[in-house]
Amino acid sequence: MRNALINTLVTLVSLLVGFVGAEIGVRLLSGGGTLTVFRNYVADQEQWAGRWRVMRPDPNLGYVPRAGYSGDDQKFHQSYGADGFRLHNQNQPPPANAAPPILVVGDSYAMGAEVDDDSTWPAFLQTAVGRRVLNAAVPGYGIDQMVLRGELLVLTVKPDTLLVGMIADDVERARMRILWGLQKPYFEVDNGKLVLRNVPLAEPELDPRLDPLRRVLGYSYLMDVAMRRLGYMSWWRRGQPSQIVPAHDYGDKVACLLMDRLAMLRDQQHIKLVLVAQYSRQTWETEELRRKEVAVTQAVIACAKARGLDTIDTYDAIAEAVRARGIAGTYTGIHLNPASNKLTAELIARWLKEHP
């Protein structure tokens, strides 16, 4: 028994020394000052602080922008008003036109991720049309969430025009009941009709609650690197099975039937409603991705037109920009750059002028 105890202690000490040596080795190889950084990588995440600094939980939509937030995120300034709409053109006098506002809902492309407040396409659109444009788009939304947000806001904002911006990935997001690690509302199709599920949503945990394992090994940079390389980062950092959990496999059917809800909203509120189709950076990276993005987007456009909805397709304009300036000259990171947002706004302004 004494020998067994000694062997066990030797083994444990060897493992500990080996782990510490590997930890030091990985930190030395990675550089960037990690050798002297001692923090819990699971708990001390910018995504936790960043998400709930800019957004707040919402029982009907999952999350919405935090009213009054103003700050720099990824080197780009974002600011939101008391109504949770992204602000723009704050240094300019408000439009003299007293017409009802134009309301924009959508995802990060409509909100204007990776550009400053005045470089979003809703900001450029307000200047182009000389009317108030309210930017109520929310990054990370699926097409289901943006339609729900539009239905809620039209009743309070009273716009005469609702612009619904979308990219192909928004259709995929409509399949999910957990997206970005958070519960979200979603629709199921029952006898050809949409049924809203998962609302009201429970209050999410705003901070990670660590179990004993993560409370200790969370300080290991070696574990952080290993989990990233093995593909278990979402489970390790968030302590949950996945950041994305599907509810079903027919996001395309949901997106098509959502056009019925938009048509009903248009008719009930007597507003102009326009679907604005946008295209992500990956559309132009390979021919396979281009075909997929275009096919998904065109299918939604076809559903919208079948319901008598107006549509604006930005494909030709952005394709020309990519040919002229390249992908890097058209996008900032994965989103449109200021020049491309201005191009999008001009396209929408011209369409609105031609369709009064």
Tell whether 149 and 1 lie within a shared domain: no
Task: Tell me the mean pLDDT in the region 69-74.
Answer: 84
pLDDT digits (tens, 9 = 90+) for 111-124: 999 999 999 999 99
- pLDDT at position 241 over 50: no
Tell whether 175 and 308 lie within a shared domain: yes
pLDDT digits (tens, 9 = 90+) for 183-232: 999 999 999 999 999 999 988 766 656 778 888 888 888 888 888 788 77
Q: Which residue has the tokens 């990956």?
A: 282
Task: Tell me the mean pLDDT in the region 332-347.
Answer: 97
Environment class of residue 54 by beta-carbon count within 10 Å: exposed (0-12), middle (13-18) or buried (19+)?
Answer: middle
How many structural domains are present in the chain?
2
Task: Please answer whether residues 295 and 287 qualify as being in contact, where contact means their C-beta atoms are separated by less than 8 angstroms.
Answer: no
> What does the pLDDT read at residue 336?
98
Environment class of residue 344 by beta-carbon count within 10 Å: exposed (0-12), middle (13-18) or buried (19+)?
Answer: buried
Dihedral in degrees, nearest 10, Cα atoms 246, 247, 251, 256: -160
Judge whether 131 lies within some domain: yes
Please list, in sequence order, all residues whose beta carbon lies within 8 angstroms of the beta carbon of residue 202, skipping any fewer than 6 positions away: 183
Task: Please answer whether residues 136 and 144 qualify as being in contact, where contact means their C-beta atoms are separated by less than 8 angstroms.
Answer: no
Between CA 343 and CA 318 the distance in angstroms is 8
Tell whether 82 and 192 lie within a shared domain: yes
pLDDT digits (tens, 9 = 90+) for 34-62: 777 777 877 755 555 556 789 999 999 99
Task: Tell me the mean pLDDT in the region 155-182.
Answer: 95
Tell whether 4 and 80 lie within a shared domain: no
Give the range of the structural domain holding residue 27, as residue numbers without chain letter: 1-36
Amino acid at 247: A
Between CA 330 and CA 342 the distance in angstroms is 11
> What does the pLDDT read at residue 234?
65
Between CA 259 and CA 71 the distance in angstroms is 35
Q: Which residue has the tokens 């929310």?
A: 138
Tell whether 122 and 256 lie within a shared domain: yes
